């Protein structure tokens, strides 16, 4: 079981989706939210991933909610996903090598994208009360 963090970044009514590149270890070419391995506490890990993958700094995001941990089966591994919701207060997204493109989408449009497993459930876990 691998612990990972996922950041749902929200701006207005839309959330940020990123398309995973060919150089990542898992789910190449799939759409996801910002995510990565948990290397310290869940909050520290998710803040590091946001900074690395989007170029956003801590003063450009606000933690809104920490969601319920989800168990997700993926390619050859089982994942324990620690989801977070952040509000973003700027438009400057600068992707690193892990992702090839990004889009701000309405949560109800997630089904139109080829996503990592259980992304819809992960997003719902932080968007619902």
Inter-residue contact 33 to 46 (CB < 8 Å): no
Q: Which are the contacts of 41, defined by CB distance < 8 A and separation ≥ 6?
A: none
78-101: pLDDT as tens digits:
889 999 999 999 878 999 998 999
The predicted model scores a pTM of 0.91
| Spatial distance between the Cα atoms of 91 and 86, rounded to a whole number of angstroms | 14
| Spatial distance between the Cα atoms of 98 and 29, rounded to a whole number of angstroms | 10
Domains within the chain, CATH numbers bracketed: 2-127 (3.90.79.10)
DSSP code per residue over 30-57? -EE-EEEE--SSHHHHHHHHHHHHH---
32-86: pLDDT as tens digits:
999 999 999 999 999 999 999 999 999 999 999 999 998 888 667 788 999 999 9
- Token digits of residue 43: 């909050």
C-alpha 34 chain-centroid distance? 3
* Listed residue (74, 102, 79, 8) closest to 46, CA to CA: 8
């Amino acid at each position: 079981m691998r612990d990972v963090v996922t950041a749902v970044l929200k701006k207005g009514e839309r959330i940020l989706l990123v398309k995973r590149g060919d150089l990542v270890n898992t789910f190449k070419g799939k759409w996801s939210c910002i995510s990565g391995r948990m290397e310290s506490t869940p909050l520290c890990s998710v803040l590091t991933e946001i900074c690395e993958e989007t170029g956003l700094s801590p003063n450009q995001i606000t933690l809104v909610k920490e969601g319920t941990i989800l168990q997700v089966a993926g390619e050859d591994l089982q994942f324990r996903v620690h989801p977070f919701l952040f509000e973003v207060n700027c438009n400057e997204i600068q992707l690193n090598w892990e992702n090839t493109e990004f889009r701000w989408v309405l949560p109800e449009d997630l089904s139109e994208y080829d996503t990592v497993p259980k992304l819809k459930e992960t997003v719902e876990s932080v968007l619902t009360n």
